[in-house]
Structure 1
Amino acid sequence: MDFGISTFVTDEGIRPGVLGKALEERGFDSLFLAEHSHIPASRESPYPPGGDLPRIYYRTLDPFVTLAAIASTTSNLLLGTGVALLIQRDVFHTAKEVASLDLISGGRVLFGVGAGWNREEMRNHGTDPRTRGALLDEQLQALKLLWTEEQAEFHGKFVDFDPVFSWPKPVQRPHPPIYIGGESERALQRLAKYGDAWLPRPGTPPEEIRRVKSWLAEQGRENVPTTIFGAPAERAGVAALAEAGVDRLSLLLPTLPESETLRKLDEFATFAGEFK
């Protein structure tokens, strides 16, 4: 099982380039960055884990700008979003950002997407929370066409455009792998239809991992890679997930100043080394 890192990069923590270099030096294979465009001051949507919304949500950097900076200080580190809120994004700009990052990094992008939870944030982007899943499904279909067709067109209920040119094309063929976040029935259906890999959250039981893998095989989707996003460094839990067939564990790195972050990464590297 491989080990990566998931985190929030903010204006108050370690700089992106230093972080990327430190991850690669310690043998981590990937980095997944969270995305929030803003946090509405009148937010009513409850924070999923409960309690107050952590400060990092208010201050996170743009993931694609951050990953581009990290690409410049690394050679092999995989550059992931965990997760990009595609339903709050323009599909053309997103297609170009992902393809551009894949080009400048030499084909290292892992494109993680999810339907999101902050309904006020969605509404500020003009997205109806009630139809965000259907919107996301159409956006994923449109992105694949923009990445793979010389002249792409798409005609859906939420995404609709006549033939267009969209360059650059990604380095990875046919396109960067799409990691589908979430564990709901709707998310799993999305994974089976449009995803290349699964990005479930920590707390997903090993037996559920096995069930989903078996179900995917029944849908003709055998050997879909699975990465646990934002997991704690707990030995018993990690061993059980590895036995269940998880391919990668992305450990949750707290957002800290540089010296504290490097110490925490040293701890994580020692922990990961126990499973190699």
Structure 2
Amino acid sequence: MEIGVHATCTDETLRPDEVAVLVEQAGIDALHFGEHSHIPVGRDSESPAEGMPREWARLPDLLIALTTAALATTRLRVSSAVIQLALREPITTAKALATIDVLSRGRLDLIVGHGAITEQMRNHGVDPGTRYDLVRERMLAMREIWREEEASFHGKFVRFDSILSWPKPVQPGGVPLFFGGNSPGSEERALEYGDGWAPLALAGVPDRIRTLRNAGHQLRVVAVGVPTDRAGVEEYAAAGADRIVFRLASAMPGEIERSLDEVRSAAAAVV
């Protein structure tokens, strides 16, 4: 089982490449970054801006952060947690991600999110009510671009005739795309059009992973936000998770080392 960490890098912390070097030196397998293009100030939805971590408005561009982390390391896998694909145009995003995969020599994978901030989606011209179908088509369209010399796609939300686009990802079949989410039916959606499932480590998730495994599904599972206690780690390992991801408490100089030590101690339960 792989061990990953999620780091919140901003303009006030260590840079993504600096964090990546420390994570790789700690012997950890994967580093995940999150994404928010912006945080709306005036909001009516259930998660008011004042209740959100202030860091969310200060995150660097995800794809640039992944690139710098990949170029600063040689072994570490770099990933999102999550990429907000509902807010990204698929043709240019497919090219950017393929480029990162080439530059990293095949060390990129992605957890795909569907958006949770209503005003944020609307600011990007996205109808929150159709975001799951939109993301599904964008995932399928990007795979077509990665796999086919002449790619085309004709869906409800994504439509383009034959195009040429290089580079192609180094990894066979393209960059792995993990369906991120805990909502009912997430596993089925991941089996239908994802390369894996990436739930948050909430109550009931280990049982859902066991159900997948008992049904014989080999779908890769990444559990995000696993608590750093031995019982929690052992539970996800026994359930059959392929990677568990801990949240780093800090990406500040002098503090990140302590956070990485805590992760190593927790991972020792299964490594």
> TM tier, shorter chain?
over 0.9
Counterpart for residue 26 of structure 1: 26
Task: Measure, in 1, the Cα distance between the counterparts of 2:212 and 2:56.
Answer: 30
Give the CA deviation at 1:175: 0.6
Contact 1:56–1:255 (Cα < 8 Å) also in 2: no
Counterpart for residue 272 of structure 1: 267
Counterpart for residue 230 of structure 1: 225
Amino acid across the alignment from 1:117: A
Amino acid across the alignment from 1:4: G
Residue 263 of structure 1 pairs with residue 262 of structure 2? no
Normalising by structure 2, we get a TM-score of 0.94
Task: Measure, in 2, the Cα distance between the counterparts of 1:45 and 1:74.
Answer: 40
Task: Between the two structures, name the one with larger relative contact order (CA 8 Å, sep ≥ 6).
Answer: 1
Give the CA deviation at 1:179: 0.9
* 1:123-272 mapped onto 2 (5 Å cutoff): 123-205=122-204, 206-214=206-214, 217=216, 222-272=217-267
Contact 1:7–1:230 (Cα < 8 Å) also in 2: no
Across the aligned residues of Structure 1 and Structure 2, the Cα RMSD in angstroms comes to: 1.7
Amino acid across the alignment from 2:193: Y
Amino acid across the alignment from 1:128: D
Give the CA deviation at 1:43: 2.5
Counterpart for residue 122 of structure 1: 121
Give the CA deviation at 1:271: 2.4
Counterpart for residue 3 of structure 2: 3
Task: Measure, in 2, the Cα distance between the counterparts of 1:214 and 1:185.
Answer: 18
Question: Partner of 2:225: helix, strand, or coil?
Answer: strand
Structure 2: any 5+ residue segments left out of the alignment? none
Task: Measure, in 2, the Cα distance between the counterparts of 1:73 and 1:11.
Answer: 18
Amino acid across the alignment from 1:46: E
Identity %: 39
Change (3 A) 1:235 1:72: same
Task: Measure, in 2, the Cα distance between the counterparts of 1:247 and 1:130.
Answer: 32
1:161-219 CA-partner distances (Å, limit 9, x unpaired) = 1111111100101111111101223433320111111111011422122123445x4xx
4+ runs of 1 displaced by more than 6 Å? none
Contact 1:180–1:187 (Cα < 8 Å) also in 2: yes
Normalising by structure 1, we get a TM-score of 0.93
Aligned length: 270
Contact 2:36–2:59 (Cα < 8 Å) also in 1: yes
Change (3 A) 1:59 1:255: farther
Give the CA deviation at 1:51: 8.3
Counterpart for residue 65 of structure 1: 64
Give the CA deviation at 1:35: 0.6
Structure 1: any 5+ residue segments left out of the alignment? none
Residue 39 of structure 1 pairs with residue 39 of structure 2? yes
1:256-275 CA-partner distances (Å, limit 9, x unpaired) = 41211122112212321232
Change (3 A) 1:43 1:232: farther
